[in-house]
Amino acid sequence: MRFSFATASMAAAVVALAACGGDKPADTPPADSAAPAPAATPAPTDSAAPVAAAGNVSMEKGQEIYARCVTCHQQNGDGVLGAFPPLAGSEWVTGPVARPIAILLHGLQGEITVKGTKYNSMMLAYGTGAPMTDEEVASVLTYVRGSFGNTASAVTVEDVAKVRAATAGRSAPMSQKDLEALQ
């Protein structure tokens, strides 16, 4: 049997949607399970330039939440070439803070260029079915913006609340054009 690139991409998207769509990490056992969840291996961080988090936002909490992202963006933030963009060195991650916040709140669909490579897949709003709190969004983005060699500023709960309020009426995923309009 021969599989096309489109078939492989669709299979990868199904795996990604299953991994990113819930409110718990993919390795969380069912509620009726007595066995503890396996510990997630921590993703590498750039110890030369740690990002300080403020308020209830923490790198540790962000790292725990990032365990939900590793299926697509990988433990090291490098993504999967041709399918899922890297977070390491991504201009969308390290640029204006409103951009990654909007991606987590509303998802992303359509072609986007990351580090000179075009990607055309879909990311659902993070935590679809159980939306993330502003603190959770700020924590995971603070972790991502300060890990994998990234040295961008921390994200505050206030940053997230501001973007959430400004985009509250939005029902469609973000596009590259939408993100470029955010500062």
Segment 139-182, tens digit of pLDDT: 999 999 999 999 999 999 999 999 999 999 999 999 999 999 99
Segment 10-33, tens digit of pLDDT: 444 444 444 454 444 333 333 333
Q: Is the pLDDT of residue 35 over 70?
A: no
Q: Mention every residue, 6+ apart, whose C-beta is less than 8 A from residue 161.
A: 134
SS (H, E, C) the chain: CCCCHHHHHHHHHHHHHHHHCCCCCCCCCCCCCCCCCCCCCCCCECCCCCCCCCCCCCHHHHHHHHCCCHHHHCCCCCCECCCECCCCCCHHHHCCCHHHHHHHHHCEEEEEEECCEEEEEEECCCCCCCCCCHHHHHHHHHHHHCECCCCCCCCCHHHHHHHHHHCCCCCCCECHHHHHHCC
Which of 76, 19, 24 is closest to 46 using CA atoms?
Answer: 76
Which of 66, 136, 51 is closest to 101 using CA atoms?
Answer: 136
Segment 158-168, tens digit of pLDDT: 999 999 999 99
CA 51 to mean position of chain CA atoms: 17
- What is each CA distance from 52 to 22, 47, 55, 62, 125, in whole angstroms? 28, 12, 10, 12, 26
Torsions phi, psi for 119 (to 5 deg): -125, 150
Q: Which residue has the higher pLDDT, 55 or 157?
A: 157
- Domains of the chain (ranges; CATH) run 48-181 (1.10.760.10)
Q: Residue 138: exposed, middle, or buried by beta-carbon count in 10 A (0-12, 13-18, 19+)?
A: buried
Distance between CA 13 and CA 26 in Å, rounded? Answer: 15
Q: Is the pTM of this model over 0.85?
A: no
Torsions phi, psi for 37 (to 5 deg): -70, 145
Segment 75-120, tens digit of pLDDT: 999 999 999 999 999 999 999 999 999 999 999 999 999 999 999 9
